[in-house]
Structure 1
Amino acid sequence: MIELLTSPEAWAALLTLTALEIVLGIDNVIFISVLVSRIPEPHATRARQIGLLLALVFRIVLLSLLVWLIGLTEPVLTVKNVALSWRDIILIAGGMFLIAKATHEIHTEIDAFQHGREERSAANAFFWVIMQIIVIDIVFSLDSIITAIGMAQDLEIMVAAVVIACVIMYVSSGPVARFVAEHPTTKMLALAFLVLIGVALVADGFKFHIPRGYIYFAITFSAAVEFFNVLARRNRRKAKVSK
């Protein structure tokens, strides 16, 4: 442990892995922010806290099962000459879940009748939100930790990077969730991001890797455009009030 604290290579690995874990955690934060926007406070805050705590727990538990995780990358099924491992199957299932969930949420946002029907069943909303967060936490945690295993050799570095990334996710999730809840067009954009991320997970599962840089560039560019749209709408409202 002392050797790691005094090793420049260990610090470089920690910084690199932490940055990567934060980027990979963006998907998790967006998904949780969209889900909790449909339930009232203080349930939304509690669901967000539970979701991020579970994300941290799942990541640490998976890190403690390194041998089992490495075994998940061994082929177990062949589909049209594509060898699939358990990791691939989980990514495909998780990606399809994300696509289906985001599509359903987009439909709900557009269809007023469906929206009203969901509000009448709000008593069960908190439970179902937590269940959905658990499902997607497992998928994102698996992808995140297998990436960490490929980048670092020491378990201490992996755990430290995961904990730091989860703390940053927790701090940033509040403002992100409030912003999504207050701006309906931003929520629609976030749902479109989830469809994009789901497609990328399914593609990864079938061995067709879409460079994450392309996806995160598209997300960043779209978010910047939406930010300026929000500012423009706010300025128009101020101009009307001043008149």
Structure 2
Amino acid sequence: MDISSPQFWLALLQIVAIDIVLGGDNAVVIALACRRLPDDLRRKGIMWGVFGAIMLRVVLIFFAISLLQIPYLKLAGAVMLLWIGIKLLLPEPDDGGHNIDGGTTLVSAIKTIIVADAVMSLDNVIAIAGASKDSMGLIVFGLALSVPIIVWGSKLVMKLMDRFPFVVVLGGALLGWIAGDMVATDVAFKDMLHAVSPHFKWVLSVGGAVLVVLVGKLLAARMLKAQRALTDNS
């Protein structure tokens, strides 16, 4: 992808937003996993935990890029992104969704971080792969940017999301937009959709963004209503 093209800069902005929206939880996991370590080991635990998490992302992104070239797998990735975007808009459980046992040794803390990150990083990897338009430079940038966000930026990002809820909504809409674009660029559909209309991918992108926000808001409202009903009955 040419660095002078508008598509490059749009993809770059999308990747930055993805890292901000999806990167905060990884830092929370690292903090929880290292909380029982002695002070002199916490910094080492964070350093090695982040290193392991980033290496894991490199492996995952390699397989994601390769697999997304197979027909219908971008469709599967798009469905996953739609669900991730919807889940982003749902209210979190009382424990914040992080059931992480802190390790009492450096090795156990690092293991906890890497195992948890293997589960949590899949959404970030698929989103970056979809937004990068197969540009290795953008993928490397996305992975590199995730490091400072994970290490230093998570508390700021979470405070921003708590104070301005529309940031979370925009993040969910972005994932829906990328999901629509992934469907439009799937090997199985790309030529057919382009034959229907060269602008059809924009329709799918907008539709994906709207779908995530509408379904996410609807499910969130139902969940809050059910929680209030349980509270009133107890």
Q: How high is the TM-score relative to the length of structure 1?
A: 0.48
Q: How high is the TM-score relative to the length of structure 2?
A: 0.50
Point out the structure with the larger helix share. 1
